[in-house]
Amino acid sequence: MYSESISDPPNGQRAEQVIIFFHGYGSSGESMAQHVGGLLAPHLQTARLYCPDGPIVLGTDSEGKTYHSWFDVSDVLDNPDCDKVAPRAHQAALDAQKYIDDVVRREGISEDRLIIAGFSQGGTMAFYSGLLRTSEVAGVYSLSGGALDRLTQPVSKPPVGLLAGERENQDYSGFPMAQKTRAQLDAQGFRVDCAVLGGQGHEITPEAVKLLAQLTHFLTPKEPRPSAPENGNKNKGFRPPTL
C-alpha cells in the first residue's frame, strides 16, 4: 500500500466528498496535500483530499523528504513516447485499484462521492485509474496528463474533465493530447469536457484547482451523506505522510 498525505475538510465536519489526487513525476503526496489542499480549501470546504506517493522512490533531499514516480519513465524523459508510456500507465493504474478500494472502505462512501484527479504523470494515473475501475466514480480530472488517447478499452465511463495549459503545446501531454482524447471519448459516449487554461504552462495553478472544486461540486450528490459512522476519520487538518 502507498504512503499518503491527507488534507481534511476545512469545515471540520465529516467529508461529503473524497478526492484522490495523484502527483506528477518527481513530486510527492505531501507536496500535493499542502499545495492542492491549500488552493482547494477556499472553494471546497467539505472534501477530504488523499494524496498518495508513487511506489518508485527517485531520491531523498537533505531534509529526508522523498520524491516519487508512478511508473518508470527514465528512458523517455527527454522524448516522451505515448506507445511506451501507455502499457506502464495501464499496469500502474491497475495496481492503484487496491489503494482506491481502501480509501473508499476507510471513508465508508459510495463511489458517486469520489473524484479521481491528478497532474502530469498523475493526470495520466487519474485518467487510467478512473476509467479502469469496475465501479463508476463521480468523475475524473486529468490536468496535463500524457498518453491518454492510448487507453482504448475503458472498463467504466465516468464523467471526465481534461485540462491543459495554454502554453502546453506538446502532443504528449498538452492541449493537443487533451483535444484528441476528448474526440475519442465523445465517440465512445462519455460525458467529457476539455478546458484550456489561459496563460498557464505545465503547472498547478489556483485556476486549475478552482476548476477541480467546481467539478467536484457539480458531479457529486448535493444531499448530505447518511449518518453512519465514518470509520474513525475525524478532522485533523493536514496530515503528513503515513504508511
Evaluate whether residue 234 is within a structural domain. no
70 with 192: CB under 8 angstroms?
no
pLDDT of residue 171: 80
Residue holding cell 465517440?
A: 187
Q: How confident is the model at residue 243 (pLDDT cuts 50, 70, 90)?
A: very low
Has residue 140 got a pLDDT over 80?
yes
Q: Which grid cell is 37?
A: 489542499
Evaluate whether residue 237 is within a structural domain. no
111 with 138: CB under 8 angstroms?
yes
Q: How confident is the model at residue 233 (pLDDT cuts 50, 70, 90)?
A: low
Has residue 84 got a pLDDT over 80?
yes
127 with 153: CB under 8 angstroms?
no
DSSP string, the chain: ---EEEE--TTSS--SEEEEEE--TTB-HHHHHHHHHHHHTTT-SSEEEEEEPPSEEEEE-TTS-EEEESS--TTTSSS--HHHHHHHHHHHHHHHHHHHHHHHHHHT--GGGEEEEEETHHHHHHHHHHHT-SSPPSEEEEES-SSGGG--S-S----EEEEEETT---TTTSHHHHHHHHHHHHHTT--EEEEEETT--SS--HHHHHHHHHHHHHHS-SSPPPSS--TT----SEEEEE-
Evaluate whether residue 93 is within a structural domain. yes
Q: Angle 103-109-114 (CA atoms, 0-180°, nearest 5)?
A: 70
pLDDT of residue 237: 58
pLDDT of residue 71: 98
Instruction: Note the pLDDT tens digit of each residue in 30-76.
Output: 999 999 999 999 999 999 999 999 999 999 999 999 999 999 999 99
| Residue 133 belongs to domain spanning | 4-224
**Looking at the 3D structure of the chain, how many domains does it have?**
1
33 with 52: CB under 8 angstroms?
no
**Mean pLDDT across the chain, nearest whole number?**
93
Whole-angstrom distance, CA of residue 20 vs CA of residue 49 = 6
Evaluate whether residue 235 is within a structural domain. no
pLDDT of residue 186: 97
pTM of the model: 0.93
pLDDT of residue 127: 99
Whole-angstrom distance, CA of residue 127 vs CA of residue 76 = 20
pLDDT of residue 169: 81
Has residue 230 got a pLDDT over 90?
no
Evaluate whether residue 14 is within a structural domain. yes
Whole-angstrom distance, CA of residue 201 vs CA of residue 120 = 11
Segment 163-177 shows an average pLDDT of 90
Whole-angstrom distance, CA of residue 220 vs CA of residue 218 = 6
Task: Provide the CATH number for the domain around residue 38.
Answer: 3.40.50.1820
Evaluate whether residue 30 is within a structural domain. yes
Segment 11-36 shows an average pLDDT of 97
Has residue 218 got a pLDDT over 50?
yes
pLDDT of residue 234: 47
Least-confidence region, from 30-44, 144-158, 226-240: 226-240
Evaluate whether residue 219 is within a structural domain. yes
Has residue 152 got a pLDDT over 50?
yes
Evaluate whether residue 238 is within a structural domain. no
